[in-house]
Structure 1
Amino acid sequence: MSGRAGRRAVAATVCALAVSALALVPSAGGKPGAGGAPSASAGDGGSLRTGDGKGGFRLVDIGHFSQPVYVTGPKGAGGRIFVVEQEGRILALRGKGKPRTFLDIHKDVEAGGERGLLSVAFPPDYGKSGRFYIYLTKPGGDIAIREFKRAGRRQDRANRKSGRTVLTIEHSKYPNHNGGQLQFGPDGLLYIGTGDGGAAYDPDENAQNRGSLLGKLLRIDPRRNGDRPYSVPGSNPFVGRDGRAEIYAYGLRNPFRFSFDSADGSLLIGDVGQDRYEEIDYETLDSARGANFGWDAFEGTHPLNEDPSPDPGGTTKPIFEYSHAGGNCAITGGYVSRDRKIPALYGRYLYADFCKGQIRSLVPRPGRASGDRSAGLPVKSGISSFGEDSHGRIYVANLSTGKVSVIKPKGRRK
């Protein structure tokens, strides 16, 4: 065995041994970024103001949890915040009240490394329909998207018996690159971010294969349609063409976290890199339709030097990348802040690196981001996710400390 195949086999073995922590973390190393997208190493640039006065903000802990990997506060939930624990539980929290178990399906989940219960999404009509969706890895490693319903009018309890499988994606070969994000887009449809299937350098070439659902952004209507568990919008780019109809965009490595700007519906993806670069992709829903984000021909804006896949041409470049210099390892994508009570962050995209104790922000623009800098907030490494509630407040979940926090204006005590 030689060349790329040999390197991939070694990388797969190393990967299997390295998933004792949340294995968003690829190997560190590399050079400072260069290319079409602006590049940085965490620590570059200035800090946003966090002291008292106009524009100041701070982190306020809302609770400690067991391996929190996602947090969200949807409309129609009576002001509740939902925290996803990797082992298979979702807890509901309202105000200063005690967290209550909303859903416990830990017996149905294979957790550890990158696997587990990874996110939850609530549709725009959640207040009326009570339905919601979860992204999990089943025993054996396959990805499952499942639907559940709230237990009648009880806002803090789901009906476990209401569960049904919407979609299953085979993912048993390697334990990493499971993706994990669900989001309802501004069009009311469910978007699903899947990883490329695992190991390193995409050994099965899934990301560029439009016949595979791995390494993709999928778009479906998750509601049951007759005897079909879901339906595919006719406007999806590969309906009636060469490729799976569920695919909305492709060429992704591990889009563990992506989001939509609540102001204009723009799509932002934090795609975890291989050995050298992490990237942020930014597109309108229209420009993302059918987009090829380049993996595994490119890592960030850089052609992959390890016997790369042929350049597919016409790839969509990230608006920002940063290198693994200084101990960076894996991006945790976040949200564009639309909290008008914090003008210093308004319109800025917040993100972190899993291996760095730092939250950063930038201004996303078509083609190129600007103003990347530290938010100056006191955090430790291990940030697994950001979240957003119906008021535009931004939350931070930390897998290492178990803390879930909210960003609030400085001086506010409520």
Structure 2
Amino acid sequence: MRYHPAASFLIAVLVALALPACGSAKLTLKKIGQFDHPVYVTGAPGFPKLLFVVEQPGRVSVLRDGHRLAKPFLDIRSTVGYDGAERGLLSIAFPPDYATSKSFYVYYNDEAGNIRVDEFMRAGATRAALASQREVIGIPHPENANHNGGQMQFLGNLLYFGTGDGGSAGDPPDNAQNKEILLGKLLRIDPRPSGGRAYSVPASNPFVGKPGRDEIYSYGLRNPFRFSFDTVTAAQPRIAIGDVGQNKYEELDYTTVAAAGGANFGWDAFEGFAPYTEENSGTPDPGGTTKPIFAYSHSRAGDSCSIIGGYVVADRHLPSLYKDYVYADLCEGQLRSLTPHLKRASGDHEIGLSVTSPTSFGEDDAHRLYVCSLEGPVYRIVQP
């Protein structure tokens, strides 16, 4: 994610209402609470009444039946390296068996700026056990404060998470294309301890037994700050990655999860559909890259800067958005949707809702859709 210089000065949330489409009711935003720099919101399997909001300085707040509880679910502010920009506590993920395993995972920067994925256990439905903290994986990221990635998602029992390229214009170390480095990648692991190790790697990962780190599932990413799985469009699950661009283009990568295994999404040879020829360029076209299905220019709205990847809508109570992909741009604020296809997207348009400095979308256990604002509000998208 890239923060716009003016973002911290924006305090008003502008909400524009969409005209009804095909006779359906208009979309609205329902505020569920005010938080401290919220960057992610999600539900947890087996706990339909709970909603968790990740606050970037290092807390996870919890709501029960729509009401925020006085005490946070988790508070690790003392160990999170929050810098007021891109570093901090960035996401939380609950495995499918969370109700019985009690384990969950957080993605954050430590005080040195390095990326950490840690496991915790819950002490109760609304309280984590701090003493249970266990490091799953650490990834060096000390040189630049930006391009941290930050999204985690479970698909089955495997944890997928996206890392940024390490920062600096044009990826001068070529981290994203280097399969011996875990930066600029989509990684896939089983986060539970195994064989004396903190985690294990599925034997089906594409680089197991080949040159490259076993944890890598896809590569060639600049800053996949937000991604999600699409399990409603087709029987075979798909993945949608909002990859933040450099100076010209923002892109959406969308393919089947199976096809993403071993895929090279092109950075830093390409930015969007275009060859990248700016700062620290020189990476030749590696050939065989997976092209985005959609890209937009920073000139689209005059101040576009950073795609905020969203979700293919699975909530049937949002009929005008159902099976469409909803996303935003940090600097534009307008929420938008498009129809994703494996080759190209179609029908990109504003949906008539606007949020100041959107940082993330999220889903609860019933697939209801939410959006976070850097300024503090978190909203549920509703269609009365």
The verdict on a shared fold, with TM-score over 0.5 as the criterion, is yes
Alpha-carbon shift at residue 74 of structure 1 (Å): 2.2
Question: Equivalent pairs: percent with the same residue?
Answer: 56
Opposite residue 101 of structure 1, the aligned amino acid is P
1:147–1:300: structure 2 CA closer, same or farther, 3 Å change rule?
same
TM-score (norm 2): 0.92
Higher relative strand content: 2
2:87 aligned to which of 115, 123, 126 = 115
Q: Is the 8 A contact 1:179 1:194 kept in 2?
A: yes
Q: Distance in 2 between matches of 1:67 and 1:256?
A: 16
Check conservation: 2:252, 2:292, Cα contact below 8 A: yes
Q: What's the CA shift for 1:51?
A: 8.3
Asked if structure 2 preserves the Cα contact closer than 8 Å seen for 1:206 and 1:212, the reply is yes
Q: TM-score, normalised by structure 1?
A: 0.85
Change (3 A) 1:375 1:356: same
Distance 2:285 2:3 in 1: 26
Counterpart CA distance in 2 for 1:375 and 1:79 is: 28
Residues 94 and 154 in structure 2, CA contact (< 8 A), matched pair in contact too: yes
Question: Aligned equivalents of 1:188 and 1:149: distance in 2?
Answer: 16
**Structure 2 stretches of 5 or more lacking a match?**
6-16
CA-to-partner distance for each residue in 1:228-267, whole Å, 9 max, x for gaps? 0000000000000010000000000000000001324210
Alignment of 1:211-360 (within 5 A): 211-263=180-232, 264=234, 265-306=237-278, 307-325=281-299, 326-360=302-336
Q: Determine the C-alpha separation between the residues in 2 that align with 1:247 and 1:25.
A: 30
Deviation at 1:377, TM superposition (A): 1.1
Structure with bigger helix share is: 1
Match of 1:197 among 166, 172, 176: 166
Q: Would the alpha carbon gap of residues 247 and 25 (structure 1) be closer, same or farther in structure 2, given more than 3 Å must change? A: farther
Q: How far off is 1:48 after superposition?
A: 5.5
Aligned to 2:12: none
* Alpha-carbon distance in 2 for matches of 1:271, 1:24: 15
Amino acid at match of 1:319: I
Q: Does 1:176 align with 2:151?
A: no
Where do 1:399-414 residues align within 5 Å? 399=374, 401-410=375-384
Displacement, 1:208?
Answer: 0.2
> Kindly tell me: are residues 50 and 105 of structure 1, through their superposed partners in 2, closer, same or farther at Cα, counting changes over 3 Å?
farther
Distance 1:91 1:54, change over 3 A: same
Residues 359 and 376, structure 1, Cα contact 8 Å, conserved in 2: yes
1:379 and 2:355 matched: yes
Contact 1:50 1:376 in 2 (8 A): no
What is the CA RMSD across the aligned residues, in angstroms? 1.7
* CA displacement, residues 149-191 of structure 1 (integer Å, 9 cap, x when unaligned): 110xx21100010010000000001111010011002x32100
Change (3 A) 1:110 1:135: same
Q: 3-state DSSP class of the match of 1:376?
A: strand
Q: Distance in 2 between matches of 1:267 and 1:52?
A: 29
Cα distance, 1:389 vs structure 2: 1.1
Do the aligned residues in 2 keep the contact of 1:329 with 1:354 (CA within 8 Å)?
A: yes
